[in-house]
Amino acid sequence: MSFSIFKKKPVETSTSELAHDDYFNALIEKEYKRVIDAGQTYLDFTGGNLYPKCQLDNHFEMLNANVLGNPHSTNPSSSLATELVEESRKKVVSYFNADDYFCIFTQNASGALKIVGECYPFNANSYFVLLADNHNSVNGIREFSSHKGGTFEYCPIQYEDLRINENQLNGLLSGKENHKNKLFAFPAQSNVSGVKHDLGWIEKAHEKGWDVLLDAAAFVPTSKLDLSVVKPDFVSVSFYKIFGYPTGIGCLLVRKDKFEKLVKPWFAGGTVTLVSVQASHHYLAKNHERYEDGTLNYLDIPAIKTGLEYIEAIGIERINERVTSLINNLCERLLEIKHSNGQPLVRIFGPSDRKNVGSTLIMNFFDPNGNPYAFEEIEKLANQRLISIRSGCFCNPGIDEINNCLSTQELATYFSSRENGNYQDMIDYLKKMRGATRVSVGIATRGEDLETFVRFAKTLLNK
């Protein structure tokens, strides 16, 4: 069962400063007019994408027209739900060219990452390497490694451009021949700086005998991921980051030749082919079902197919060109803003050349004397103007520690001095700034939204 939602048009060239202005303005008017009508400026697309009207219309038409029941049965309502879920699964595999992968539906990208952390065979002979630039849902995997006696180590990123320190990473991935189970985890795109890390490291790690976990949650909303070309062993994805609706569904893509390397420590409803109570034995399913615990979100999963069709109709290359044009325009304009004494209003972190950087800006604001404005105050002032941005460390403490020049010794001293703490407590103790402001653009961003944010930034001048 399928519904046509959007006819694909050929990608057109445009001389507009902001790529394809006319096309996207028409799209926004049709699919996202509610944002305009609400008088809001939405600049938090890395936090969550906005859903198009046509996707909701399509999905609720399907719900209204059918009777859907819990899968795991052959009755009519169950069979239809199973059919629609499997259509979405096939669409995910097709969208990412992932014929060599199992698609496991999860609650979110964090749930996908937890499967890898919980089931990877960490032990005293294992090694886990991860970038200092990782979401906490990847950082947390180190606890699975530690609790099973494994070793983990971070590869730093460079202060100047927030990219991989290639010499150090190459060193960390080399010389571990005596370790049997080796896992390297990194994000295809930083959820903070927007830096797109070199996917060539997947093959380099494979050549040295490592398994690779790629966190693609921040990358796939605006960039093409072709898993027939780059072949990480495990890939985490969040669907609302791509097209807004539904929330609460992600997936883990597992290369079929690495499926049995993951060892599930328990079983649940829907994950087994046979269980005995008296004999205390069970047989796990041999495919994606092994990790889809309990009842899937069978009412929302069909919306994934229509969401991916919507993105395909627009074209991921066109989306990428658009958001790159928008974010680079905003970056240039913010860097031009200076106080009357010539001091810059903002400092933007990351590569100055903006090459291979996604649709995200991470920044701090400063007064004429070079003193930072608290990021909480920036967000509070933006809220008053109905501007949605995000502030803090964005569940990525590694980037935050680098940007604010926090040393290992300072951090170790803080954590050893107390049993509990929080963000403000650390700021008070270290007397150093933490956190920043993040602005991100997406499909529904207009040129007017950039104008609104620039005008907002200028209200902070000379104060």
What would the mean pLDDT of 123-148 be, rounded to a whole number? 97
Every domain range in the chain assigned CATH 3.90.1150.10: 318-393+435-458
Euclidean distance between CA atoms 83 and 79, whole angstroms: 6
Q: Which segment of 61-65, 185-189, 277-281 scores lowest on mean pLDDT?
A: 277-281
The two tokens of residue 361 are 């800006």
**Residue 19 binned pLDDT confidence (cut-offs 50, 70, 90):** low
DSSP readout, 364-418?
EEB-TTSPBPPHHHHHHHHHHTTEE-EEE-TT-HHHHHHHTT--HHHHHHHHHT-
Degrees (nearest 5) of the Cα angle 329, 332, 336?
140
CA atoms within 13 A on the CB side of 84: 27
Phi, psi (degrees; rounded to nearest 5) at 2 = -150, 155
What would the mean pLDDT of 165-169 be, rounded to a whole number? 95
- The pLDDT tens digits of the residues spanning 330-349 come to 999 999 999 999 999 999 99
**Among 54, 119, 395, 405, which one carries the catalytic annotation?**
395
Every domain range in the chain assigned CATH 3.40.640.10: 70-310
- In the beta sheet, which residues pair with residue 275? 282
Q: What is the pLDDT of residue 72?
A: 87
What would the mean pLDDT of 185-198 be, rounded to a whole number? 97
Topology (CATH level 3) of domain 318-393+435-458: Aspartate Aminotransferase, domain 1 (3.90.1150)
- The candidate with the shortest Cα–Cα distance to 11, out of 446, 444, 315, 307, is 315
What would the mean pLDDT of 83-93 be, rounded to a whole number? 98
**Residue 8 binned pLDDT confidence (cut-offs 50, 70, 90):** very low
Q: What is the pLDDT of residue 207?
A: 97
| Residue 395 is a catalytic residue | yes
Question: Which of helix, strand or coil describes residue 129?
Answer: strand
Q: What is the pLDDT of residue 238?
A: 98
Which phi-psi region, left, alpha or beta, contains residue 365 (left: φ > 0; alpha: ψ -120 to 50)? beta
Residue located via tokens 């963000």: 423
Euclidean distance between CA atoms 99 and 90, whole angstroms: 9
- The pLDDT tens digits of the residues spanning 439-460 come to 999 999 999 999 999 999 999 9
Q: What is the pLDDT of residue 429?
A: 85
Which phi-psi region, left, alpha or beta, contains residue 194 (left: φ > 0; alpha: ψ -120 to 50)? left
What would the mean pLDDT of 125-144 be, rounded to a whole number? 97
Q: What is the pLDDT of residue 424?
A: 83
- In the beta sheet, which residues pair with residue 283? 274
- The pLDDT tens digits of the residues spanning 239-292 come to 999 999 999 999 999 999 999 999 999 999 999 999 999 999 999 999 999 999
Q: What is the CA radius of gyration of the chain?
A: 23
Q: What is the pLDDT of residue 408?
A: 87
Rounded percentage of the chain residues whose pLDDT exceeds 70: 96
CATH code for 70-310? 3.40.640.10
What would the mean pLDDT of 158-182 be, rounded to a whole number? 94
Q: What is the pLDDT of residue 3?
A: 32
Euclidean distance between CA atoms 133 and 198, whole angstroms: 13
Q: Which segment of 8-12, 205-209, 376-380, 417-421 scores lowest on mean pLDDT?
A: 8-12
Q: What is the pLDDT of residue 271?
A: 93
- The candidate with the shortest Cα–Cα distance to 250, out of 113, 107, 135, 115, is 107
What would the mean pLDDT of 172-197 be, rounded to a whole number? 96
What would the mean pLDDT of 116-123 be, rounded to a whole number? 98
Euclidean distance between CA atoms 446 and 241, whole angstroms: 19
- The pLDDT tens digits of the residues spanning 292-302 come to 999 999 999 99
**Residue 88 binned pLDDT confidence (cut-offs 50, 70, 90):** very high
Question: Which of helix, strand or coil describes residue 289?
Answer: helix
Q: Which whole-number Å values give the CA distances from 19 to 76, 204, 263, 329, in the listed order?
A: 48, 35, 47, 11
User: pTM for this one?
Assistant: 0.93
Q: What is the pLDDT of residue 216?
A: 98
- Max CA separation in the chain (angstroms): 81
- The candidate with the shortest Cα–Cα distance to 88, out of 196, 200, 249, is 249
Q: What is the pLDDT of residue 17?
A: 56
